Amino acid sequence: MQFAACQPVLVCGAEFGAIDMPSVLGGHVLPLLSFSSVPVIADSRRTRWTFLVGIAPPQPGPVRADPTLVEYGVVQRARGQRVLLPVSNSGTGSQWANEPAPGGGTPQASSVLASAARVIASMTGLR
């Protein structure tokens, strides 16, 4: 964790990452996850959510984004990208859409991506 202008920043890396998606999709994904307090940040316009996730050890070979997820606006942030963490839920700027709890943990990125794919498939009839 770092700080930028008195705001905490999470740098995506070996242990933690972030997945962005439209808030409408995120609202359907969140209840599918098996964690009681998944940390999710809403952008200042409340149109995009960022799920904070755990990262599994890298697998050999190239990593390919699922084209269907990308088409629906689901993007896993690259290593080294920064996520500004909300300071409070008052005023303007990003806010917690789902606030983390002490000891709550984070879901694996693969779990969030799989849940997003399931929601998209159920909404579009894709299988």
Please give the torsion angle defined by the CA atoms of residues 17, 22, 27 and 31, in that order, rounded to the nearest 10 degrees: -40
User: Reduced to 3 states, what is the DSSP secondary structure of residue 29?
Assistant: helix
Tens digit of each residue's pLDDT (9 = 90 or more) over 15-36: 899 999 999 999 999 999 987 7
- Please state the domain extents for the chain: 2-124
Tens digit of each residue's pLDDT (9 = 90 or more) over 54-104: 987 766 655 677 899 999 999 999 999 999 999 876 666 789 999 988 887
At residue 52's C-alpha, the angle toward residues 87 and 40, to 5°, is 60
